[in-house]
């Protein structure tokens, strides 16, 4: 008789137990490094998992509790994939804003959270010049290309939410996904590709896969992540599908670029071309790499699809506060009469800007934000030192609802920022796209979201 009736099952159990032991050992080591920082919830190597599992479904409750217990301070919480150091208040946010990339790294934190090398591409973060493409040529071209995005928004909304004499029920999130992907890809890749159903579906699935797969990978010890990352991701199949559409486009443009050089008079004006023009910033091995350019198109779609939540919450808040609909329509009509459909017109819609910002303040942020990885021991202004290798986040959910910063912070007030902008010298400070120590949705300092101006124009349209 066999010693193990089911050898495969036994190996799985042994492997699972080994992984748990390694996770516990790592948790114990990390806890010892952070013992001088107070813990929210259970602190033991085993009991801390009670808080970690609570974090999965009650993250905002935990953050609000920490905000009350440690005002303007710092604490740590256990999560399934490790200890998280959380900071509260303006001063601590300012410390993060002023820190250098040699001390606190936003890019390294993002890579760890999203497991970019496995979920997107192994070399995407080696030289993320596409971020500068979004920050500069994409932002500069919002006004020039605005008419194309407007046309796509009008077209896709008329298709997905057709005019009717009666009420029509829609699944808001699913419909909004289709609208957002079509609108942003009109800007990124142009016609006719932005209307190709398989292309749109690819970018939606790619975004979802990155989030889900990164969560799975982060459950495993670091030494196992390269193996798990190859098993639990759809990166290669996504890239294969994307190449089917982008390879002919990029090859043709490379040919035209070689033939005409600077004399290429009708050169396309879209994200693909801006990346091609910026390739001098890429390593030699990546220049004119069709795969590299394709991955950067997928990456910018991943970022853009996240405006879906902002759009969805805006629709829900319109439904919940119908009294704001007429004032918003009057403002839009008044501005359009004066400026027409344009980037300038979008900027002048101050009540719409206030409504969207308030909608985001109340609903559009996660429990935490401003992720940073500590590369060198970092001391905050309150004297607390966080050791290298730690992960830091800010208590964004609680900051955005702080009654001292936002009176009656748990109440939805669409005029909140409109009224503030009406005060002398406050017109710029309270815009949706302006980061402040109180408004951290779009990040801080030089790491503020490079696509926030595009996102604002898109949402308003």
SS3 379: strand
Phi then psi for residue 391, to 5 deg, are -110, 130
SS3 384: coil
Alpha helices in 365-415 (DSSP H): 396-399
In this structure, are strands 82-87 and 74-79 parallel, antiparallel, or unpaired? Answer: antiparallel
Residue 14 has a pLDDT of: 63
Alpha helices in 7-105 (DSSP H): 7-33, 48-69, 89-98
Task: Confirm or deny that 449 is annotated as ligand binding.
Answer: yes
Phi then psi for residue 196, to 5 deg, are -75, 115
Q: Contact at 8 Å (CB) between 408 and 417?
A: no
Nearest to 218 by CA among 375, 210, 18: 210
User: Residue 424: is it exposed, middle or buried by C-beta count within 10 angstroms (0-12/13-18/19+)?
Assistant: exposed
First to last CA, the chain: 72
Residue 42 has a pLDDT of: 76
The maximal CA–CA distance of the chain, rounded, in angstroms, is 88
What six digits make up the tokens of 252?
């043709």
Residue 158 has a pLDDT of: 93
Q: Which residues of the chain, if any, have pLDDT below 50? A: 1-5
Q: Contact at 8 Å (CB) between 313 and 295?
A: no
Element (H, E) at 419: helix 416-421
Integer CA distances (angstroms), 8 to 2, 4, 13, 231, 232, in order: 13, 9, 9, 18, 20
Q: Contact at 8 Å (CB) between 392 and 423?
A: no
User: How far apart are alpha carbons 374 and 390 in whole angstroms?
Assistant: 5
Name, in order, each residue with C-beta under 8 angstroms of 297's C-beta and a sequence gap of 6 or more: 188, 189, 242, 246, 271, 272, 275
User: How far apart are alpha carbons 216 and 458 in whole angstroms?
Assistant: 32
User: Residue 359: is it exposed, middle or buried by C-beta count within 10 angstroms (0-12/13-18/19+)?
Assistant: buried
Q: Is the peptide bond before 132 cis (omega within 30 degrees of 0)?
A: no
User: Residue 22: is it exposed, middle or buried by C-beta count within 10 angstroms (0-12/13-18/19+)?
Assistant: middle
Q: What is the pTM of this model?
A: 0.89
Residue 2 has a pLDDT of: 46
Q: Contact at 8 Å (CB) between 143 and 342?
A: yes
Q: What is the DSSP letter of 173?
A: H
Q: What is the DSSP letter of 370?
A: E
Residue 423 has a pLDDT of: 87
What six digits make up the tokens of 266?
């009708």
Which parts of 307-383 are beta strand (E)? 369-374, 378-379
């Amino acid at each position: 008789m066999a010693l193990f009736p089911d050898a495969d099952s036994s190996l799985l159990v042994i492997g699972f137990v080994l992984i748990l032991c390694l996770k516990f050992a790592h948790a114990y080591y990390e806890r010892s490094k952070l013992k001088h920082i107070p813990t929210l919830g259970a602190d033991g190597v085993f009991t801390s998992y009670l808080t970690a599992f609570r974090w999965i479904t009650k993250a905002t409750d935990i953050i609000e509790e920490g905000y009350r217990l440690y005002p303007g301070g710092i604490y740590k919480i256990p999560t399934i994939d490790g200890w998280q150091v959380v900071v509260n208040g303006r001063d601590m946010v300012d410390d993060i804003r002023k820190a250098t990339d040699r001390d606190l790294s936003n890019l390294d934190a993002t890579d760890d959270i999203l497991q970019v090398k496995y979920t997107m591409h192994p070399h995407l973060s080696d030289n993320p010049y596409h971020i500068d493409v979004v920050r500069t040529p994409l932002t500069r071209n919002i006004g020039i290309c605005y008419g194309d995005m407007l046309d796509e928004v009008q077209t896709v909304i008329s298709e997905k939410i057709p005019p009717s004499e009666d009420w029509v029920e829609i699944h808001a999130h699913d419909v909004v996904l289709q609208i957002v992907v079509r609108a942003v890809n009109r800007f990124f890749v142009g016609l006719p590709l932005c209307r190709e159903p398989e292309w749109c579906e690819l970018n939606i699935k790619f975004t979802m896969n990155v989030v889900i797969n990164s969560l799975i990978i982060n459950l495993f010890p670091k030494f196992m992540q390269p193996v798990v990352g190859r098993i639990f991701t759809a990166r290669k199949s996504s890239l294969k599908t994307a190449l089917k559409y982008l390879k002919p486009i990029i090859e043709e443009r490379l040919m035209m670029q070689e033939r005409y050089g600077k004399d290429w008079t009708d050169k396309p004006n879209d994200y693909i071309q801006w990346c091609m023009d910026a390739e001098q910033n890429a390593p030699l091995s990546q220049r004119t790499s069709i795969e590299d350019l394709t991955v950067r198109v997928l990456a910018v779609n991943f970022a853009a699809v996240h405006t879906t939540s902002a759009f969805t919450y805006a629709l829900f808040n319109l439904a919940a506060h119908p009294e704001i609909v007429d004032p918003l329509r009057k403002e839009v009509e008044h501005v359009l009469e004066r400026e027409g459909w344009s980037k300038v017109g979008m900027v002048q819609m101050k009540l719409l800007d206030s409504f969207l910002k308030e909608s985001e303040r109340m609903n559009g942020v996660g429990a935490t934000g401003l992720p940073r990885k500590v590369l060198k021991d970092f001391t905050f202004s309150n004297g607390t030192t966080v050791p290298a290798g730690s992960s830091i986040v800010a208590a964004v959910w609680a900051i955005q609802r702080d009654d001292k910063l936002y009176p009656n912070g748990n109440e939805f007030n669409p005029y909140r920022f409109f009224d503030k902008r009406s005060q002398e010298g406050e017109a710029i400070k309270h815009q949706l796209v302006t980061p402040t120590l109180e408004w951290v949705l779009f990040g801080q300092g030089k790491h503020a979201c490079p696509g926030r101006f595009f996102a604002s124009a898109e949402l308003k349209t």
